[in-house]
Amino acid sequence: MSKIKDAFKNGKAFIPFVTAGDPNLETTEKLLIGMSENGADIIEIGIPFSDPIAEGVVIQEADLRSLAAGTTTDKIFDMVKGIRPQVKAALAVMTYMNPIFVYGTDAFMAKCAECGISAVIVPDVPFEEKAELQPYCDKHGVELVSLIAPTSHDRIKTIAKESQGFVYCVSSMGVTGVRKEITTNIGEMVDLVRSVCDTPCAVGFGISTPEQAKHMSQYADGVIVGSAIVKIVAKYGKDCVEPVCEYVKQMKEAMQ
């Protein structure tokens, strides 16, 4: 069993996201360790990019803060490698094709494997173009996480059949961000995935409250939260570790 799938074996998985380098990499280090200690099963590490097309304004601004602070992909890899033994959660990176291509796709996946990063999530690479990444992921043992959206319809089964790690179920149309209400029939999406494979399903985009996490975990195997955590980081800056860890703990408890 892969480290990603292994994270789902003891019940519902909580998957928080942070933008690496916001407000600085030292704080990100503490966040990764603290979130893992407080219930995170998988942690998504966002690699800052100047044009993150799947992100709402909260994460866009975090990316800009991180880049302005001098964060680079290599600095992120070095940071993760240094603290990996202290983080029991599985790790995934969320990024875009441009940073991977510029770094060198083979070199990027090799570095992920070297640092103990188990999966990559690349929202701007559609299923039909995943051959740009899949061979390099397979070569280095890094899983390529597939995304399905409310508009995927007939493609859901096709995407799910070749899925690795977990299937990222996008809960709402549009970009990431906190939403008061999620109207997509997540249960239906998950049922379609489960009809063709046993890959765990995790739902993200818009989830921010313990109530929403509890509700979504009735249908999915895991819950992903990004913008709500990034907002806490933006509010508290270098002092964000304690409030983020408390938030992670509350969300995980709500899903039990």
pLDDT at 205: 82
- Spatial CA neighbour of 133 closest among 152, 115, 119: 119
42: tokens are 């998988």
Residue 20 CB burial class (10 angstroms; 0-12, 13-18, ≥19) = buried
**Number of CB atoms found within 10 A of residue 11's CB:** 13
Give the mean model confidence (pLDDT) for residues 179-189.
67
- pLDDT-based confidence at 173, cuts 50/70/90? very low
145: tokens are 């996480």
Side-chain half-sphere CA neighbours of 120 within 13 A: 28
**Number of CB atoms found within 10 A of residue 66's CB:** 24
Residue with token string 């992670």: 248
Distance, first Cα to last Cα, the chain: 23
Q: What span, in angstroms and rounded, lies between the C-alpha atoms of 209 and 202? A: 16
| pLDDT higher than threshold 60 for residue 183 | no
- pLDDT-based confidence at 174, cuts 50/70/90? very low
Q: What span, in angstroms and rounded, lies between the C-alpha atoms of 198 and 220? A: 12
Across 123-127, 193-197, 238-242, the highest mean pLDDT is recorded for: 238-242
Amino acid letter for position 156: I
Give the mean model confidence (pLDDT) for residues 54-64.
88
Q: Is the dihedral of CA 85, 86, 91, 96 positive or negative?
A: negative
Q: Residue 127's Cα: distance from chain center in Å?
A: 18
pLDDT at 25: 98
- pLDDT-based confidence at 129, cuts 50/70/90? very high
pLDDT at 185: 77
pLDDT at 26: 98
- Spatial CA neighbour of 163 closest among 143, 190, 186: 143
Q: What is the pLDDT of residues 134-154, one digit of tens each?
A: 999 999 999 999 999 878 878
Whether 13 and 221 have beta carbons less than 8 Å apart is answered as: yes
**Number of CB atoms found within 10 A of residue 96's CB:** 20
pLDDT at 149: 86
Give the mean model confidence (pLDDT) for residues 37-43.
98
SS3 77: helix
